[in-house]
Structure 1
């Protein structure tokens, strides 16, 4: 054997038990108690939890936006992922007019291959059907391992929005090819109306970013997306759910038996819209924005009762001087916040505090993402699957700071947040990439995950 992890409490989505895990050639080959096997390396995990690596299915690395590019590229973003216990990262290349899906993804794959510190996969954002030729390419994209396509119901002026007719065509084609449609749901016309009014009135602080995109702006689009998915009986994955009303509509559809999945993000679970009243409120500007306390409580309720399927980050950080572009005009603030290194520590801390179980944290951050997005070798500690493993010390408390994170940004919205317990080692396919606060992996070690279509 290459590696034997002994005496740890193995945590899956369904159970927890003390045991050993034997690993060879990057795969889990045996799980049991008191395994007597020869191994090149033995790790004693006594008193610690042994977890499947997290899968962050929502990141924007090296993403052009708002006149700049997100602060984390593929190297720093995946390095930070490894140091937070995330062993697979999904990125969102954006298809543009005249470009194909595979062409768009291949370009990003070529960028990622030499830099990735953990394994990686891609969704693809569809912004133009190119007179229908993009729909004809769905099957080729699925064969390439891209089995999810994102639509924006917002960013109309930026040329990224799809209208309802286009959305329905994508939903149908995705269903026919075994893919799933991801949705960013907000109403652009109402946002533009609100922005125009606020700017005319000289209301330009970060607080008005939230007021221009309040609960009802997201809720209307959530409900519209759910309506069309139900109408054509196609799978739908709603990204970064942040509002109570839209959440309730999606949950109701799930209970009716429709193939609807709901993602939320740690920032919506930790912060409310009150952050936009802070002096540094512009640093928290993302879309959708953090919402009110009622929505936050609804999200936590759905986390606890199983209605929310995944937690991911929408990781898209910018430097503080770039956020400062909007100090006097919220419309000039690049939208996005950090989170990739904080995802697993935050959710596991909530488990350590007793808010949810460790099994539920694993389900939300590893097992469900793997199932929904066709990562058959990822997401659980199972014989035959990739040895993507995190060792977690329940007694290691950490105060998050930009100084102890591993990204390239110069600030974080998580500054000063204390988490109870912390990952101490991360293994990707049996190889140690993070050890006691230090990245010890190799850029380019990460492999492309070719995903499987929905059956």
Structure 2
């Protein structure tokens, strides 16, 4: 396969070149390449050719609270591929105290995957980082690069304070990153009791029950510990100005602090929770204010935020209508399909940063952080031929009908985007052609981290 006449975009430059693909890999990048006899040629004139997007935070087939999120590894992957995502990093929960058992269970669910995948392994408070140290080596040997831990959800996922330091030490010894959901549980539980008394548990009160200060305080605590032992940590879904100011204060302080945010925290506000469809916009952490959006965009510009991912966790409207209040409505929204067009439109087209910076945020940085680079996240000889042909001239208004998640609604309904992926190529195979999915079940495979 030969892709001709496109503007090849990496995190460093933009240049009109041709790309030759053979046996799943990029084998040649140069000017004015001539096609071989019978070689398939794709003309990308007037379009960008960019590395496949890596969404480093998705929840396909999430099993929680007696239900399962509506997008599985097939439907979620189809939606992702139509948005130019070629690899996603999902989650595998520890099972019966075993990290590998949890991972093996999740791998069984990926049989119909249409895009490539990797996993973070979620630990709970039963996991003892000292006693279970051998398990960390085991998952590393398998090709896993990260753990996921929580400072909230006591009794379910929350890690006790006395375990954070040994966890960071053992993760560091095994070259693993600890990805952390940061909200201070004590602040939240205090607010829950107070709001229960006042009968203020509707979705519109969710941002008050889980306020920005809870995020900032949890970030401060884990950063202090990580700094002490010089561990690498990754803050997931940063949502607030207070949280941003806290990570900014710790950035470049003798340890590797990596930070992720999402399109919904960049573009949506808590006003969505006040409408008749408020339940559809409930996620954790909650949506916040316009000033929080602006601070997070600034965080990208200042290189404090390293990655934009989605936290795609889709539930149908029927599922979202279950539950009585903000404490038991299923939290999460779809987003994997709209990641690229939203970041391009509201980041690049708005002049906040370059298209090269966009590639860094969506492809190169997640590949490097989770040790999938240079196999993924870059356009260079020898890398996987994961490519997007992106047409910057397409204008479209996002709505429920042009979204492909099984959720049946688009949280960015009414947002105008300028620029869309028209072709998605995964390991040399076209899986989206002319904006139509043409991939096949089972083509997606696990990508090992390379240490």
Deviation of 1:203 (Å): 1.4
Alignment check: 8 A CA contact 2:58 2:313 kept: yes
- Cα displacement string for residues 84-115 of structure 1 (whole angstroms, at most 9, x for unaligned residues): 1000011111114x231111111111210x21
Cα 1:152–1:175 change in 2 (3 A) is same
- Cα displacement string for residues 353-404 of structure 1 (whole angstroms, at most 9, x for unaligned residues): 4332111110000000000000020001111100000000001112222322
Q: Which residue of 1 is the match for residue 345 of structure 2?
A: 349
Q: Distance in 1 between matches of 2:234 and 2:370?
A: 10
Q: Distance in 1 between matches of 2:226 and 2:145?
A: 17
Match of 1:331 among 327, 330, 348: 327
Q: Distance in 2 between matches of 1:369 and 1:363?
A: 8
Q: Distance in 2 between matches of 1:65 and 1:241?
A: 22
Deviation of 1:352 (Å): 2.9
Match of 1:274 among 250, 271, 275: 271
Match of 1:398 among 396, 413, 416: 396
Deviation of 1:78 (Å): 1.1
Cα 1:412–1:133 change in 2 (3 A) is farther
Q: Distance in 1 between matches of 2:137 and 2:241?
A: 35
Match of 2:166 among 138, 144, 169: 169
Q: Distance in 2 between matches of 1:291 and 1:134?
A: 38
Match of 1:287 among 277, 284, 287: 284
Matched, 1:434 2:432: yes
Q: Distance in 2 between matches of 1:415 and 1:435?
A: 24
Deviation of 1:133 (Å): 4.3
Correspondence 1:38-57 to 2 at 5 A: 38=36, 40-57=39-56
Alignment check: 8 A CA contact 1:66 1:333 kept: no
Q: Distance in 1 between matches of 2:166 and 2:75?
A: 37
Q: Which moved more, 1:349-358 or 1:75-84?
A: 349-358
Alignment check: 8 A CA contact 1:273 1:292 kept: yes
Q: Distance in 2 between matches of 1:197 and 1:253?
A: 32
Q: Which residue of 2 is the match for residue 81 of structure 1?
A: 80
Alignment check: 8 A CA contact 2:5 2:43 kept: yes
Q: Distance in 2 between matches of 1:318 and 1:451?
A: 30
- Cα displacement string for residues 230-260 of structure 1 (whole angstroms, at most 9, x for unaligned residues): 0111001000011222222222322334211
Q: Distance in 1 between matches of 2:357 and 2:239?
A: 20
Alignment check: 8 A CA contact 1:4 1:42 kept: yes
Q: Which residue of 2 is the match for residue 36 of structure 1?
A: 34
Deviation of 1:130 (Å): 4.3
Q: Which residue of 1 is the match for residue 443 of structure 2?
A: 445
Structure 2: which 5+ runs fail to align? none
Deviation of 1:129 (Å): 4.2
Deviation of 1:66 (Å): 3.1
Give the TM-score of the pair, scaled to structure 1. Answer: 0.95
Match of 2:310 among 313, 317, 320: 313
Deviation of 1:319 (Å): 1.2
Q: Distance in 1 between matches of 2:193 and 2:316?
A: 27
Q: Give the SS at the match of 1:92.
A: strand
Alignment check: 8 A CA contact 1:226 1:249 kept: no
Q: Give the SS at the match of 2:199.
A: coil
Alignment check: 8 A CA contact 2:35 2:41 kept: no
Aligned length: 447
Q: Distance in 2 between matches of 1:48 and 1:106?
A: 40
Q: Which residue of 2 is the match for residue 17 of structure 1?
A: 15
Matched, 1:243 2:240: yes
- Cα displacement string for residues 384-426 of structure 1 (whole angstroms, at most 9, x for unaligned residues): 1000000000011122223222221122212222111100000
- Cα displacement string for residues 142-189 of structure 1 (whole angstroms, at most 9, x for unaligned residues): 0101110010111114x2100122122211111001111110000112
Alignment check: 8 A CA contact 2:70 2:315 kept: yes
- Cα displacement string for residues 66-90 of structure 1 (whole angstroms, at most 9, x for unaligned residues): 3321111111111111111000011
Q: Distance in 1 between matches of 2:57 and 2:244?
A: 18
Q: Which residue of 2 is the match for residue 143 of structure 1?
A: 141
Q: Distance in 1 between matches of 2:20 and 2:311?
A: 34
Alignment check: 8 A CA contact 1:424 1:434 kept: yes
Q: Give the SS at the match of 1:216.
A: helix
Give the TM-score of the pair, scaled to structure 2. Answer: 0.96
Q: Which residue of 2 is the match for residue 265 of structure 1?
A: 262
Q: Distance in 1 between matches of 2:158 and 2:22?
A: 46
Q: Which residue of 1 is the match for residue 64 of structure 2?
A: 65
Q: Distance in 1 between matches of 2:259 and 2:154?
A: 23
Deviation of 1:447 (Å): 1.2
- Cα displacement string for residues 294-351 of structure 1 (whole angstroms, at most 9, x for unaligned residues): 222110001112221000011101111221124x522121011111111112112231
Q: Which moved more, 1:47-56 or 1:280-289?
A: 280-289
Q: Which residue of 2 is the match for residue 383 of structure 1?
A: 381
Alignment check: 8 A CA contact 2:247 2:304 kept: no
Match of 2:5 among 7, 21, 28: 7
